[in-house]
Structure 1
Amino acid sequence: MPASFVDMHCHLDLYPDPGMEIERAGRSGAYILSVTTTPSAWLQTRALASRFPRIKTALGLHPQLAGERIAELSLFDRLLPEVRYVGEVGLDGGADCRDFWGSQVKVFHHVLKSCADQGGRILTIHSRNAATDVMDGLERHKGFGVAILHWFSGTKKELARAIEMDCWFSVGSAMVSGAKGRELVKLMPPERVLTETDGPFAKIRGRALMPAQCGEVVQYLSQAWGVSAEDAAQQVLKNLRELVSQ
């Protein structure tokens, strides 16, 4: 029997019909990390998936919303003791996010410090055009937990630094649809790679990826690693088990 897919970064609450997608994903047997973009979205999103133990809900404050939702940091701190997973958090150095860069930095460092103060968490981290700044933050806040760099798009030098820092990586079909993404994935340690969709934001051939729609990226990993698709899926599942045992 094929291994269950792992979707380590999916915005379940942002599909047009979240209840339907959660029901379908839950019955598929996939392991899914449902990320949130604001602390105020966490309670309801967790409740939607409460019947499915393989769906976990992460507490997040997306960097693209840091400017307008910075006041929710107090709610983040109140909820943090209830969660094991944090995300989506991080930094975004895109031109469209530069106007509130200061708020992003304040939010990200607050999140890292809070996680360290609570004994560490598993974080799924956004680092578009900001990989060095993200890693500087991780090094500053020792004890924050474990970092999973979602859809990593930095340079090879930044990737080497992330590997040296024991970061994990979640990769999806949209990431490996481009030459740069494929090249970066080949350099990642197979034992620290997880799969994701980033649905409904990530698209393949113009269509949003559905929760746990990881077949294409698993097929790519099988080619990159020189193993069968079944073995690649089993490796990702083994990696997930190793991650959560820490």
Structure 2
Amino acid sequence: MIDTHCHLDLYPNPGRVINEVDKRGIFVIAVTTTPKAFLGNLRLAEGRKRIRVAVGLHPELVAERYREIDEVQKHMARTKYVGEIGVDGSPDHAASARLQADVFNTLLKTAEELGGKVLSIHSRGAARAVLDNLEKNVSKSIPILHWFTGSRKELDRAMELDCWFSVGPAMLRSRKGRELAFAMPRHRILTETDGPFGTNEHCSLMPWDVELALPIMADAWKCSIEEADQQIRSNFRELVESQSLAT
């Protein structure tokens, strides 16, 4: 199982979750919300072969913490993975949308200067702004649009830009989420939970709960659950083995 977008450090007992991840053999990309959280996650995940820590600055925090961008850029040299970054256009954060876009633009440029990174990207209510910046700045990095909620036209544009997508049980619970996921190219889809924020019946999704997405995708792809699982695994291998990325 593969969870490409999970906030491991924000569970009430992250150590217990990490031990269970190890026990079950799950590969996790641990996204972070601040550069300080990145350092904390490195300590939490030390010695865990299947956990990769991404450095990020969550767009919801940019208004108050944008001065930490220098720290994010410094830490980007230490990891192949960057996230959670992006732009949030929801009403609570619309006032800082321009600042968010500026920070996002700067981080994309840094990723390119470093040879390209795997990017886990937040685009709620701001798909157009995110795609504009990707089109302008990205040629080496691999953008993964996490829990994409844009329009079908914006999805088509994202596919034209060779974006990847991470989908999970929480996204697939809604009709729109399923429709978008079913329209995404099969070879560009990965699984995620967005735990502990992603939920299932009011309970936080755990990394191993990505398996809840497999029957839904198998039904959409007209294949077995095992074949859907193998497709996701194959996609992930392609992602991590990309020779265009900096180590």
- Alignment TM-score, normalising by the size of structure 2: 0.96
Matched, 1:113 2:109: yes
User: Per-residue deviation at 1:144?
Assistant: 5.1
Matched, 1:94 2:90: yes
Provide the C-alpha distance between the structure 2 equivalents of 1:72 and 1:26, rounded to a whole number of angstroms. 32
Counterpart mapping for 1:46-65 below 5 A: 46-65=42-61
Return the match for 2:234 from 235, 238, 242.
238
Provide the C-alpha distance between the structure 2 equivalents of 1:102 and 1:177, rounded to a whole number of angstroms. 31
Provide the C-alpha distance between the structure 2 equivalents of 1:166 and 1:189, rounded to a whole number of angstroms. 10
Which position in structure 1 is the counterpart of 2:9?
13
Q: After superposition, give the CA deviation of every residue in 1:136-184 in whole Å (9 maximum; x if it has no partner).
A: 0011113350100000010000000111111000000000101001111
The amino acid that maps onto 2:155 is L
User: Per-residue deviation at 1:20?
Assistant: 1.0
Provide the C-alpha distance between the structure 2 equivalents of 1:198 and 1:60, rounded to a whole number of angstroms. 14
Q: After superposition, give the CA deviation of every residue in 1:207-238 in whole Å (9 maximum; x if it has no partner).
A: 11012311210110110101111110111000
The amino acid that maps onto 1:201 is F
Provide the C-alpha distance between the structure 1 equivalents of 2:41 and 2:119, rounded to a whole number of angstroms. 17
The amino acid that maps onto 1:237 is R
Return the match for 1:42 from 38, 41, 54.
38
Provide the identity percentage: 46
Computed over aligned residues only, the root mean square deviation of the Cα atoms, in angstroms, reads 0.9
Where does structure 1 differ by over 4 angstroms across 4 or more consecutive aligned residues? none
- Alignment TM-score, normalising by the size of structure 1: 0.96
The amino acid that maps onto 2:79 is V
The amino acid that maps onto 2:106 is H
User: Per-residue deviation at 1:106?
Assistant: 1.6
Matched, 1:128 2:94: no
Counterpart mapping for 1:53-202 below 5 A: 53-143=49-139, 145-202=141-198
Provide the C-alpha distance between the structure 2 equivalents of 1:46 and 1:212, rounded to a whole number of angstroms. 21
Q: After superposition, give the CA deviation of every residue in 1:71-104 in whole Å (9 maximum; x if it has no partner).
A: 1111111111111000000000100001212221
Provide the C-alpha distance between the structure 1 equivalents of 2:36 and 2:106, rounded to a whole number of angstroms. 17
Preserved contact between residue 138 and residue 144 of structure 1 (Cα < 8 Å): no
Return the match for 2:220 from 218, 224, 245.
224
Which position in structure 2 is the counterpart of 1:208?
204
